[in-house]
Structure 1
Amino acid sequence: MSDEAVQIIARGPRRIAEAAAAALEAEPATEALTYSILEEDEDHDVWRIDAFPTTDQEREAIAAVLVRFGDLRVSTEVLADADWLAMALSGLPPVRAGRFFVYGAHDRGLAPASTVNLRIEAGAAFGTGHHGTTVGCLLAFDELLKARRFPKVLDVGCGTGVLAIAAARTGSELAVGTDIDRVSVRIANENATLNRAGAEFVHASGLGHPAVRTRGPYDLVFANILAPPLVALSQDIRNALKPGGLAILSGLLRTQERRVLAAYLSKGFKLQRRLHRDAWATLVVRRP
């Protein structure tokens, strides 16, 4: 791919945008694609997909998928030669999710005294707290904390580490996270230090890393990843949990909810709760 970084934007009705996002998920060539989907104009039913290809193959695959959805208006913008990610994050407001208040360095003076304040610097990692899936996980966790505590917590696909850090800051004695991206692991560990949280993050694919395997079983597993790996890891997550343990699953579109839930129900899990935020779903399931 050329040195030009681009952003592909697609706008259209919610039904079409969600279908296009699901098609991007199902396309093997865009399996590692960074993208988001959100409501841009509620009054006129305008939803927006933002995709950030990193290779020519991804760019071509995105175009091939989106062209199948004729009601979408698609455009491509060249990103300026600047730290555009840092610039974008600097304009994001803090997020309140139940007892949790997630903020960046630019908003450190806004943190209330009555909340669990999490300073999260994203850099190149996913999980500032603004995405519907991260907010869904935090809201689900906040609700669970009203009834019980979770001594051992595992965060699969930790990104910035916000979920494991939230667990460590609310009393979990062990909070360990994994990610397949080494940069995310570094950022997550830095965020744990910033928050004086006893959370630990390791580079790993799946749940076989010794730091994960030897310290289970867990009371709670976060898995805020994508629908295909959520399905593929359903048995491994079951094995990692104590009987009666809970899993908070997200990273999936509402259109993918039935597929993911079916995979977990087939492993004996029981659905405890579901949350919807924008086009995204969060599921809370319990191992019997």
Structure 2
Amino acid sequence: MTTYTALTTLSGEAQARALAEAMERLDPEPTGVGVFEIEDGSGLWEVGGYFEAPPDEAALALLAVATGARPFAVSELPETDWVAKVRRDLAPVEAGRFFVHGSHDADRVPEGRIALLIEAAMAFGTGHHGTTLGCLRALNRLADGPAPRAIADIGCGTALLAMAAARVWRVPVVASDIDPVAVEVARANVAANGLQGRVTCVEASGTSDSQIAAAAPYDLVFANILMAPLVALAPDLAQVVAPGGRVILSGLLVEQGAPAAEAYRAQGFEDEAREDIGEWTTLTMRRRA
């Protein structure tokens, strides 16, 4: 089936969400509308819609003028089996002892590796991105050390990091995300990897959920999110991480590593390790005893 996209940008989250809501009332109506902040410091937001029939370009032009958006760019996408394409393109990821793969590569797991299954149709947080890969490598460096008593994965996405930790150590792991769809994906991945009962997935913002609070203090917390929420989370993580416990922080551009680390130093954490992969950085920091 041929599909169509209509994309634009504009300033301000409120205006972007209002435009997205207005797009949902178009005829023909879109099959989906997305709103994303462009993470380049410009303050711009991208709004896009997918259509199964050619969108009404006159109506889109009126919406753009009414909301102060740039003119929509409308494109026709060729018919593509996207899951099959992702399966072809989504090569396994190796990070030390970890081997992250789709079901189509289940027969390629090297002997002695910790295999983690992430399906191609659930491809956000697969380990291919520099942030997730950096977190896996940081976990690999810690894996030969003492077992943590409890672990949390804040902003878990597919729950890849939570599952990796659960495979290394038989300790409770709580995986949380603010997005209910991500939480459902995480639960499906936990089940597919046979980790029910060892990884608990909850919908929560930060550390506010009762299940997250009940499992504290943590000896290890992953927070692979974005710069602003990561810095805002620093005081809360200082409250739930045990003395001597670690945080593995990512979702950070290389130039954001220093200010993010400073925010955590102010909350009693010390630098332990840093790895830059392309334009992204991952920090490992330890709370002072």
Larger Rg: 2
CA distance in 2, matches of 1:23, 1:166: 30
Q: Secondary structure at the match of 2:126?
A: coil
Alpha-carbon distance change, 171 to 61 in structure 1, aligned in 2, over 3 angstroms: farther
- Cα deviation code 1:53-84 (max 9, x no counterpart): 546999x99989xxxxxxxxxx9965446563
- Cα deviation code 1:157-194 (max 9, x no counterpart): 00000000011111141011111111111111111111
Q: Secondary structure at the match of 2:223?
A: strand
Instruction: Find the counterpart in structure 1 of residue 168 from structure 2.
Output: 170
The CA deviation at 1:92 is: 1.0
The CA deviation at 1:280 is: 0.6
Alpha-carbon distance change, 92 to 115 in structure 1, aligned in 2, over 3 angstroms: same
Instruction: Find the counterpart in structure 2 of residue 24 from structure 1.
Output: 39
Aligned counterparts, 1:110-259, within 5 A: 110-121=108-119, 123-124=121-122, 126-197=124-195, 198-259=198-259
Structure 2: 5+ residue runs without aligned partners? 9-36, 50-59
Contact 2:131–2:280 (Cα < 8 Å) also in 1:
yes
Contact 2:90–2:120 (Cα < 8 Å) also in 1:
no
Q: Secondary structure at the match of 1:147?
A: coil
Given residue 26 of structure 1, which amino acid in structure 2 is its aligned partner?
A: G
The CA deviation at 1:211 is: 1.1
Contact 2:87–2:104 (Cα < 8 Å) also in 1:
no
TM-score of the pair, normalised by structure 1: 0.75
Alpha-carbon distance change, 149 to 279 in structure 1, aligned in 2, over 3 angstroms: same
Contact 1:24–1:62 (Cα < 8 Å) also in 2:
no
CA distance in 2, matches of 1:28, 1:222: 27
Instruction: Find the counterpart in structure 1 of residue 4 from structure 2.
Output: 4
- Cα deviation code 1:224-282 (max 9, x no counterpart): 11111111101111111011100000011101111211111111110000001111100
CA distance in 2, matches of 1:274, 1:61: 42
Given residue 208 of structure 2, which amino acid in structure 1 is its aligned partner?
A: G
State, as a whole percentage, how many aligned pairs show the same letter.
Answer: 40
Contact 1:133–1:280 (Cα < 8 Å) also in 2:
yes
Instruction: Find the counterpart in structure 1 of residue 32 from structure 2.
Output: none
The CA deviation at 1:125 is: 5.8
Matched, 1:109 2:124: no
CA distance in 2, matches of 1:178, 1:87: 29
Alpha-carbon distance change, 243 to 118 in structure 1, aligned in 2, over 3 angstroms: same
Superposition CA RMSD, Å? 3.0
The CA deviation at 1:146 is: 1.9
Q: Secondary structure at the match of 2:121?
A: coil
More off after superposition, 84-93 vs 202-211: 84-93
Structure 1: 5+ residue runs without aligned partners? 9-21, 34-52, 65-74
Instruction: Find the counterpart in structure 2 of residue 39 from structure 1.
Output: none
Instruction: Find the counterpart in structure 1 of residue 98 from structure 2.
Output: 100
Contact 2:109–2:115 (Cα < 8 Å) also in 1:
yes
Contact 1:86–1:123 (Cα < 8 Å) also in 2:
no
- Cα deviation code 1:91-126 (max 9, x no counterpart): 211011011000011111101121000011253562
Q: Secondary structure at the match of 2:39?
A: helix
Aligned counterparts, 1:36-47, within 5 A: none
CA distance in 2, matches of 1:116, 1:63: 48
Aligned length: 241
Q: Secondary structure at the match of 1:244?
A: strand
TM-score of the pair, normalised by structure 2: 0.75
Q: Greater relative contact order: 1 or 2 (C-alpha under 8 angstroms, separation 6 or more)?
A: 1
